[in-house]
Amino acid sequence: MKEIDWSNLSFGYMKTDYNVRINFREGEWGKLEISSSELINLHMAATCLHYGQEAFEGLKAFRGKDGKVRIFRLEENAARLQSTCRGIMMAELPTERFKEAVLTAVKMNERFIPPYESGASLYIRPFIFAADPFLGVRPGEKYYFMIIMSPSGAYYSTGINPVNIYVETNYVRAVRGGMGFTKTGGNYAASLAGQDEAHRQNYSQVLWLDGVERKYIEEVGAMNIMFVIDGEVVTPSLQGSILSGITRKSALELCRKWGMKVSERRITIQEVADAYDAGKLDEVFGTGTAAVVSPVGHLKWGDKVMEIGGGKIGPITQKLYDTMTGMQFGKIPDDMGWIEKL
């Protein structure tokens, strides 16, 4: 194997030694299979290619300060994949089978887990898709569940430094009653045009508004969003149009544990702008598997530009980042019961 430069990893794809696969046939899941091939033999009429019956997850394995491998909130990823599968009428992989597959894949590819000193991790991508060769619109009867993985550096090239966010007002990603709560490829495809517009204006991410009134804040393309307004942590409530982020859930649980005032509710972009004008917008940050916690330093809504925190990470954002990454890398005790050790 070519020697890996652990200090120069991107968020992308690097082949590892093995992937794992489980097939669903005749109403039941089969045995776990291990493969070294990167290829899938798929019929050109497979329903996943035509009608979008596919779902995926994202999680990470970390090599700790003590040399042990840790995985963050594994069962939460299993539960979210099951929720997505229910939403798009796919077979649900039981939690224990999901855990078995992830742990097997990580153990088989342990040499690709970056060393503790690098601050990098092994990104794990479980996914499932319908494979029936059928051109009518109906739920599939045959499914493939697979896991691939790749060593990964920081999701954002700027690391923990504040990112710039563009508020999208023309395109929408999802609406309540649709599939916005699922982790399926179509939701990400729906975000590409808005993301391209943001990049053309030199912004790294898009902040999406609701698809009906175009005023309520939903989420950022790669993360959930949170605001600290006059000392209160505020984040959009889960109403079916945004992803139920596992890092989002973890951040809220920690803030409540620390005695902070936390609100999950509908919040408009105008309320955020008003708080900024009144000097009460203390911090803005995103949460997600890839970035963990990412401070927002610049928010553009139409002609209004909001500069937050003077280009520095805020105290709540920093504490959340330090606590979650501390658990992930074994630097601090896991007093929440979130870590699975190999």
- pLDDT for the residue 157: 45
Which of 278, 264, 265, 287 has the alpha carbon at shortest distance from 306? 278
Any residues with CB less than 8 A from the CB of 304 and at least 6 apart, and which? 273
Q: Which two tokens stand for residue 253?
A: 């649980």
Number of folded domains that form the chain = 2
Domain contains 2: no
Domain contains 342: no
Domain contains 251: yes
Judgement on whether residues 202 and 292 belong to the same structural domain of the protein: yes
Q: Which two tokens stand for residue 34?
A: 């291990």
Q: Which residue has the tokens 């870590």?
A: 339
14 burial via Cβ count (<10 Å: 0-12, 13-18, 19+): middle
Judgement on whether residues 186 and 105 belong to the same structural domain of the protein: no
If you ran DSSP here, which 8-state letter would residue 268 be given?
B
- Exposure string for 140-177, b = 16+ CB within 10 A, e = fewer: bebbbbbbbbbbbbbbbeeebebbbbbbbbebbbbeee
If you ran DSSP here, which 8-state letter would residue 174 be given?
-
Residue 80 near residue 293 (C-beta atoms within 8 A): no
Query: Mean pLDDT by 10-residue block, N- to C-terminus, for the chain (342 residues)?
Result: 84 94 97 97 96 97 96 98 97 98 98 94 98 95 98 67 92 91 93 93 94 96 95 96 96 98 98 98 95 94 95 94 96 97 94
> CATH code at 233?
3.20.10.10
Judgement on whether residues 287 and 197 belong to the same structural domain of the protein: yes
Which structural domain range is residue 316 located in?
163-333
Structure confidence by residue, pLDDT tens digits, 27-81: 999 999 999 999 999 999 999 999 999 999 999 999 999 999 999 999 999 999 9
First to last CA, the chain: 24
Judgement on whether residues 205 and 229 belong to the same structural domain of the protein: yes
Counts of helices then strands in the chain (DSSP H, E): 8, 18
Domain contains 199: yes
If you ran DSSP here, which 8-state letter would residue 79 be given?
H
Identify the H or E element spanning 104. helix 95-108
Residue 177 near residue 52 (C-beta atoms within 8 A): no
Judgement on whether residues 73 and 202 belong to the same structural domain of the protein: no
> CATH code at 94?
3.30.470.10
**Euclidean distance between CA atoms 75 and 95, whole angstroms:** 7
Judgement on whether residues 168 and 312 belong to the same structural domain of the protein: yes
Q: Which two tokens stand for residue 318?
A: 């920093």
Residue that finishes a domain, picked among 152, 186, 207: 152
Residue 289 near residue 58 (C-beta atoms within 8 A): yes
Judgement on whether residues 52 and 78 belong to the same structural domain of the protein: yes
**Euclidean distance between CA atoms 238 and 265, whole angstroms:** 8
Query: Regarding beta strands 262-264 and 232-235, do their DSSP bridges make them parallel or antiparallel, or are they unpaired?
Result: parallel
Judgement on whether residues 72 and 94 belong to the same structural domain of the protein: yes
Domain contains 169: yes
- pLDDT for the residue 161: 82
- pLDDT for the residue 160: 75
pTM for the whole thing? Answer: 0.95
- pLDDT for the residue 155: 58
Residue that finishes a domain, picked among 105, 125, 152: 152
Residue that finishes a domain, picked among 152, 186, 212: 152
Judgement on whether residues 181 and 140 belong to the same structural domain of the protein: no
Q: Which residue has the tokens 């936390």?
A: 262
Judgement on whether residues 111 and 202 belong to the same structural domain of the protein: no
Domain contains 157: no
Judgement on whether residues 143 and 218 belong to the same structural domain of the protein: no
Residue 261 near residue 129 (C-beta atoms within 8 A): no
Residue 126 near residue 98 (C-beta atoms within 8 A): yes
Judgement on whether residues 84 and 229 belong to the same structural domain of the protein: no
